[in-house]
Every structure is written in C-alpha cells, then in structure tokens.
A and B are shown apart, each in its own frame.
Chain A
Amino acid sequence: MIRTELVKTLRRPRTWVTILLLNALPTLVAVLLALTDLGPRPGSGPAFLSAVLADGTLFPLAALAIILPLFLPVAVAVVAGDSVAGEAQQGTLRYLLVRPVSRTRLLVAKLVAVIAFVLLAVVVVAAVAYVVGSVLLGDQALAASVSGTVLTPAQVAVRTLLAIGYITLSMLGVAAIALLLSTMTDSPLAAALGALAFLIASSLLLTLDAAQTLQPYLPTRYWLAFVDLFRDPIFWRDIVRGIGLQAVYVVVFLGAAWANFTTKDITS
C-alpha cells in the first residue's frame, strides 16, 4: 500500500511541477542577490539571506527559509488535501476501498506519501539552491554560525541535513490537518483551503499577544526553529518541542481522520 502510494506520488506530473515551482522563487532571489549584491535589512528578510552574500553554500538554508512560511505549506496542503478527496472526486476511492487493504492503512500510506513528497521537495530545493548558491554567490572555506562561532563545511553539511529533516517533520501537522479535511469532503480544493485557513489563523495568532496561552499549541509555532540548528551550541529546546508538537498534531488529526474515515459511507 505504502509502496503503491509512493509510486503514485512519484509518477504524478503534479509532484514535479510543484517541486519546480518551489525552486523558482529561491532561484530568482539568488539571481537578484548575485546581480545587485543587496541583502535584506537586518531582521526584515528571511533567515540566512544576508549571510549568503558572504557564503553561497549557505544558500540552501536561505532557500528553505524562503519557501517555509508560505510556498511549502501551500504545496503540502494541496497535496495532502487531494490525497483522499481527489480519489473521491476521480471516483477511484471506492475502488481502492473494496480492496483487501484497511482504511487505516490507506490513511497512513497517504500521510507517508505526503511526507515523502515534502522530503523530496525540500531535498531538491536544497540541492538546487546549493548549486545555484555556489555558482552565483561563491563559497568560502568556513562559515560563521548564527552565534558568531566558526563552522566547518562538514558541520554546515550535517546541520543542513538536520534542517531538511526538521522542516520535513514540521509539515506533518499541516499534512495531518489537510488529510482529515480530505476525508470529510469530496473536494480537494476545499480540503486544501481549509488547511490553509488553519495555517493563516495560526500565523496570525502567533503575532497576537492576547493569544499567548494558545501559542505553544499552534502548528506554525516552532517552524523557524531550524535556525536554532545553526546556533552554537545547537539550541535544541524549540526543535524538540517542534517535533513533539508535530507528533501531537499527527496523533490528533490522523486519529480524527481515522475515526471519521474508517466507518464512513463512501457515496461518491
């Protein structure tokens, strides 16, 4: 089941078009940076964007920071929102569900496929950004950590891989929400928009002091914590919490999807 879902994801043209689009903005930014040599004002632009002017090998991180707040979650919401509702709309859902595969496993397989998509997208974006960054912006033997200490290329590489893993896990919550909505409607668009509405609300509440008590529970709360991987020593607190929070989202929303979906009438 998981294998067939992975194959399906990889074979869909949409997967690759989405990944291509995700690469477009960071690449454009790299070109502009190379041409103008103008970094963002401190505190205003995405993380690492000023640092890449000095060291192009940090550009994968800047690229991830560029797509993290909006483009990546939109892609995740669309893909995850489509996962069940899309099958229902296409009429394939009922043919999947009359096969000897439990609906619970179908849900898990769908989530795994979405996460595989995210990982693929993030890895491709990072790889493209590495090439683009080194070619256009040049590289340096040693980089400065966010805390002002020196990082060797090996350390940068390891921490970049950790960041890729963390960002991928950060998308679990959105994916689980979109998946739940996807089991509740036959419209992939509605599911994706619902998940996005949740995210926008979450981002908005994060800026609101009055919502302080809610903030530790918001799915976007710890997204930017991947920056903490580049502090020295690594600041694990928010990263651990971010992973835990995503796990809670998966348990709760995948659980709700399971409760809703496993006994649901398939009428479409």
Chain B
Amino acid sequence: MKGWQRWLVVALGVLLLGSIPPVLAALPATESDVTASELLASVRSSDEVAFTGYAETVGGLVLPVTQDFTDLVDLFGERSRLRAWWAGPDDWRVDELTATGETGVFHRSGASVLWNYEDSSATLAADPVVRLPRAADLLPSALGQRLLSEAGAEEVSRLPAERIAGRDALGLRLVPSDERTTIDRVDVWVDPSTGVPLKVEVYGADATVAAVRSRFLEFTPGAPDPEATWFVTPPGVDLSFTEVIDVAEAANQFAPAVTPDELAGLARRSGLVSIGSLGQYGRGVTLLTAAAVWDDLSRPLRDQLEGTPGAVIDENGVYVSAGPIGLLLTPGSRERSSWLIAGTVDAATLAAAAAEVRQIPVPDR
C-alpha cells in the first residue's frame, strides 16, 4: 500500500466514525396525526406513568441572587444531570449527579429523604407547602406536566416530531394567551405511548436561547425496581429531621405579614397555600409570588440586586430581571420588613403588585 492510500484509509475511517452521531441524530422521527388538544390531554393524564430515565437540563438564566439561593442559581444557570426512578407521584427518586458526588431525593408518601454524598448527610423532611424549585422539578416529565397543567386548548399547537431518548416524540407548543406573562412559548415533546413529556424548552420573550431546557437521554417506561426508591441510611450517616427545608418555606412560616387574595389582577392560587403568608398568584405560566421578609434576609438581597447590571431602582424598590423571571424587592429598614415579589410576569405587573402590597400594614419589630 502506498503512503497516500494509507492516509486515504485513515481519512475514510475518521469520516465513517465521525458521521455516526450526526446520522443517528438525523434519523427521521415518525409523525402522528394526533391533535394538539389530544396530546395535551395525554400529557395531563400521564403523572401516574412509571418509568426510569436519565435527563439533562440546561438553564440559561443568571439569577442575581446568592447566599440562601445558591441551589437555585445552579439549577437555572447550569447543566444538571438527573437520574429518575418514577413509580408514581408519591413514590419516586431523583438523583442529581455531580462530577464528584450526588444529591438525591427519595420521595415516599408525603415525605422526602434528601441525600448529599459530599456532606455525607441524609435529611428527612415532610413535603412543605411551599419551597424553592429543585432539580427534580426540572425533570422533563415533571416540568412539562406542570407547565401544561393549566394550558387551554386554544393556547397549544403541534410541532414536528423529534427523536428523543431513542423514541419518536410528538411536538406540542404552548403560547400563553395572557399578555402579562414574560414566557413567550413552551415547547414540549411527548412520548406518544405514555404521554410523558420527554423534552421541554421554555423561551422568554424575544429570546433565541431557551431559558430552561430539559430532556431525557434515556427513558424506559415501566415500574422501577422498588428497592431503587427506598432509602436505607448507610453506616456512619445520621438521618436528621428538618422542619424547614429552604428559605421559601421559612418565609412562609415566619413571614411578618399575610398576603392578599388578589394581586395585580391575578387571583391567588388555591390548593397551594390556604392562609399563607407567602402568596402565589396567577394561572398557567403567568405566575407571581409575594412574601414579606424580615430585614436579615432582605438586606443582603437588596445589596446584591442593586449591584446587578440593569437593575431599576424607583419608589417601589429595586427591580431586576433574568430572562423571563422578574424580581422586585420593596424598600424596607431594620425595623420594617419588605416585600419580595417574583414571577414570570412583566415589569409593569410587578410594579402594580408592589404598589398594592406596600399598602398592607406590616408590623414593626
């Protein structure tokens, strides 16, 4: 064999190997003539479907908050790798894999064990009324079901099918009809046989990059090994119990003031908080949360928000947006608590909400 012939062989080999992934990716997905509303209905009834899977989520949001919110920042700003064993809404386990460790949520009957390998800690907590989003919420199945749960039939349309996790997934697009939302659209690809969302992309207004993207890379329907979702405390680790799992729950439990039933024209969401000091409002993907917070939580947060590029400071307080999420913190002092308002609504709605809550009397310390 001549020299150039050998190089030719090698070049062909490289081409062949290099073309495997694109060819696999370009395999056409089988379409189906299911209508958008039928698909929506199948997603809504899919929360009992058991499966095991592996998903990756990418957040494109840089949240201008740290300290008590670091998990949240990582969740929306970085790539997470999730393994899920899902026997049903009340029996599941989701592990977030990191390069050198793992944090897991083992969920059974209204309580969760939170496992953290690198801290070597296991914490048992009852499901709180409110809490911050966590990795398990970004699982495509959970995220898709949640975002589509309140969508109207007129808000959804079909998208071309895609191959996801080796399956033909049917596309569904949600364009929220509410003017006040900052969410431009939510694209969901659904496993036709189970109705489970396999891929979800959330876009803010005018955004070319998804604010949140989550998709399964492996997905197997069927009940997982029952052992897999059952936590047995390993030797050398003490299982601890906690009353309060994050600042959202803390704010809810210890807030100095009670929130109104309606805020900026958005109705309080029922079923989530009965008489909460933390109020959640809105419908579908037009959501607003408000809570009164004590100075020790609001002061560092205010410093940080005011230092964020693009922050708007006026008589209502400081306003910052990160992609489709807006944050507003009203003025406060050492004696007076302030209001933290956040949500997927535009600046005007947030400002209106701020003006309303500032009328609510809050106790002085």
Residues of A that sit less than 8 Å from B by CB: 42-43, 45-48, 50-51, 54-55, 65, 140-150, 216, 224, 227-228, 231, 233, 235, 237, 248, 251-252, 255-256, 258-259, 262-263
Contact = CB atoms under 8 A, between A and B. Distances in A.
15 contacts: A54-B236, A144-B234, A145-B234, A146-B101, A147-B117, A148-B104, A148-B115, A148-B122, A149-B232, A149-B234, A224-B100, A227-B99, A231-B95, A235-B97, A263-B2
Interface in B191-242: 217-218, 225, 228, 231-232, 234-237
B211 to A, nearest CB: 15
Nearest to B102: A146
A265 to B, nearest CB: 10
Contacts of B333: none
Binding site secondary structure of chain A: loop
A176 to B, nearest CB: 12
A144 B231 CA distance: 12
A138 B108 CA distance: 35
A43 B116 CA distance: 11
Contacts, number: 100
B100 A47 contact: yes
Nearest to B7: A259
Contacts of B232: 149-150
Contact of A50 (B2, B3, B120, B228): B120
A97 B117 CA distance: 54
Interface stretch (B9-17, B40-48, B269-277): B9-17
Given A227-B99, A231-B95, A237-B54, A148 B234 contact: yes
Nearest to A225: B99
A251 B17 contact: yes
Contact of A147 (B3, B98, B102, B218): B102
B232 to A, nearest CB: 6
A141 B234 CA distance: 11
A35 to B, nearest CB: 20
Interface string B32-68: 0000000000000000000000100000000000000
Contacts of B14: 252, 255
B218 A258 contact: no
B21 interface: yes
A37 to B, nearest CB: 14
A-B pairs, top 8 by smallest CB distance, nearest first, are A144-B234, A42-B118, A259-B6, A47-B100, A148-B115, A263-B3, A255-B10, A146-B102
B145 to A, nearest CB: 24
Nearest to B230: A149
A132 to B, nearest CB: 20
B17 A252 contact: yes
Contacts of B225: 233
A224 B99 contact: yes
Given A42-B119, A144-B234, 6 more contacts: A46-B100, A147-B95, A148-B117, A150-B234, A233-B228, A235-B83
A150 B232 CA distance: 8
A150 B235 contact: yes
Contacts of B228: 233
Contacts of A227: 99-101
A42 B104 contact: no
Contact of B231 (A148, A237, A262): A148
Residue of A140, A142, A231 with highest tally of chain B CB at under 10 A? A231
B236 A43 contact: no
Among B17, B100, B101, the one with the most A-chain Cβ atoms within 10 Å of its Cβ is B100
A142 to B, nearest CB: 5
A252 B10 contact: yes
Contacts of A141: 235
Contacts of B17: 248, 251-252
Nearest to B122: A148
A240 to B, nearest CB: 11
Nearest to A257: B10
Contacts of A224: 99-100
Interface string B101-124: 110101000000001111110100
A140 B6 CA distance: 56
A250 B119 CA distance: 39
A255 B235 contact: no
